[in-house]
Amino acid sequence: MKKISVLVPTYNEEENVALLSEKIVEQFETELVAYDYELIFIDNDSKDSTREKIRGLCRSNPKIKAIFNARNFGQFSSPYYGLLQTTGDCTISMCADFQDPVELIPRYVEEWEKGYKIVLGQKTSSKESRLVYAARNIYYRFMKRNSDVEYLEHVTGSGLYDREFIEVLRGIDEPRPLLRGMIAELGYSIKLIPYDQQRRRAGKSSNNIFRYYDAAVQSFTSYTKIGVRLAVFTGVVFTAVSMLTALGFAIYKLLNWSTFDIIPFALGLAIFVVVSLQLLFIGVVGEYVLNINSRMKKRPLVIESERINF
C-alpha cells in the first residue's frame, strides 16, 4: 500500500488545525481508501494554543504527527524542513488556513499516479485583498520575464511532491531555501491544477509588508541578475553623460559665453539625480550581499524542541 504524507505548516492557527485535520482524514477515509497516510504538523513557535490543539490531535490519532520548532525560523525554512521529515511515497503540502481547498488532495494524487513527480495548485483567482493580488500579478510577471529559471506564476508551493524529488532536496545544502525557485530550477515535469483561492477561514495572517518584501527580495536576489546588471549599465550611462557634461562645461567656460542661471540649477539637479541613483543601487547590491551572507553562515534550517508520534 502506498503511503501519502500530508504536511501542514502552522503559526497561530488554533482555530483551524482541528477542523483541517478532520477534513484531511476524511479525504483518506472516503476518496483515498487505497492509501495509507500520515499527517504532519510543523509548528513555527505559535504564541496561541495551536500546540495544545495539535497535541490533542496526536493523542486521538497515531497517524497525526507533530514537530515543534524551538523558535520561529521563518516562512520558508520551516515548511522546507518539514518536507524533509516526511516518509511517504509522496508528500502533499497545504496551508493551515483553508485557502488551499482540501478537495484538491485526490486530484493531486490522481495526476501523481499518471506519472507527474510534482503536482502544484495554481491560483486563477483569489478572494484576498485586490491590492495584494494585483501586486502579486506584477511581481510574478516581472520574475517570469527576468528570472534565470522558468518562474511559476501564482504558485505558492502548495501541492504534491514525489519521494524522488524529496530525496533530491535532502541532498541539497541550502540554508535559505526558496522552494518555488528550486522546483523550476531542478527541471522536473510539473502538472498545474488551477483553483480559486478562498478567504482565510479564521484567524489573522502573520504576513505583513515586511514579510512580503523579504520574500520578494529573496526571490529577486536568488534567481535574477537584473539588479546588479541594471546598476552597472546605469552607471556606465551616467558616467558617459557626466564626462560629456564636464567637457561641454569646460568648453563653455573657455569660450567665455554669457552666464545663465539655468546652468548651476541643471548641474545641481543632475548631481541630485546621480547621488539618488547611487544610493538606490548600493541598496540593491546590499540585498545581494545580505543573501550571500545568510547562505555563508550555514545555520541549521530548524532546531526542534519536540516531536510527537514519530
Where is pLDDT greater, at 263 or 107? 107
Where is pLDDT greater, at 128 or 63? 63
Closest alpha carbon to 24 in 90, 101, 109? 101
Where is pLDDT greater, at 262 or 158? 158
Q: Which helix (H) or strand (E) holds 21?
A: helix 17-30
3-class SS letters over 42-57: EECCCCCCHHHHHHHH
Beta bridge partners of 36: 3
Average pLDDT, integer, range 121-134: 75
Strand 36-43 with 3-10, pairing:
parallel
Strand 36-43 with 64-69, pairing:
parallel
pLDDT computed for residue 132 by the predictor: 72
* Across 54-68, 117-131, 150-164, 290-304, least confident range: 290-304
Our CA angle for 54, 162, 174, nearest 5°, is 80
DSSP code at position 231 = H
Where is pLDDT greater, at 52 or 172? 52
Closest alpha carbon to 97 in 12, 4, 187, 7? 12
* Domains of the chain by residue range: 3-204+301-308, 226-296
CB atoms within 10 A of CB 274: 16
Q: For residue 68, what pLDDT band results from cuts at 50, 70 and 90? A: very high
- Kindly report the pTM of this predicted structure: 0.75
Average pLDDT, integer, range 6-25: 94
* Across 54-68, 86-100, 185-199, 216-230, least confident range: 216-230
Contact between 172 and 84 (Cβ < 8 Å): no
Q: Distances from the Cα of 259 to the Cαs of 145, 244, 263, 265, in angstroms? A: 48, 19, 8, 12
Q: What is the pLDDT of residues 136-154, one digit of tens each?
A: 777 777 777 777 667 777 7
Encoded amino acid at 204, one letter? K
Rounded Cα distance between 294 and 258, Å, is 57
CATH topology of domain 3-204+301-308: Spore Coat Polysaccharide Biosynthesis Protein SpsA; Chain A (3.90.550)
Rounded Cα distance between 275 and 242, Å, is 12
pLDDT at 231 over 60: yes
Rounded Cα distance between 240 and 38, Å, is 63
pLDDT computed for residue 115 by the predictor: 92
pLDDT computed for residue 180 by the predictor: 77
pLDDT computed for residue 183 by the predictor: 81
Contact between 158 and 83 (Cβ < 8 Å): no
pLDDT at 287 over 90: no
Where is pLDDT greater, at 8 or 175? 8
Average model confidence (pLDDT) across the chain: 81
Enter the C-alpha cell of residue 123: 491560483
pLDDT at 196 over 70: yes
Contact between 44 and 289 (Cβ < 8 Å): no
Q: What is the pLDDT of residues 238-260, one digit of tens each?
A: 767 766 766 666 666 666 655 55
The dihedral built from the CA positions of residue 210, 215, 218 and 220, taken in this order, carries a sign that is negative
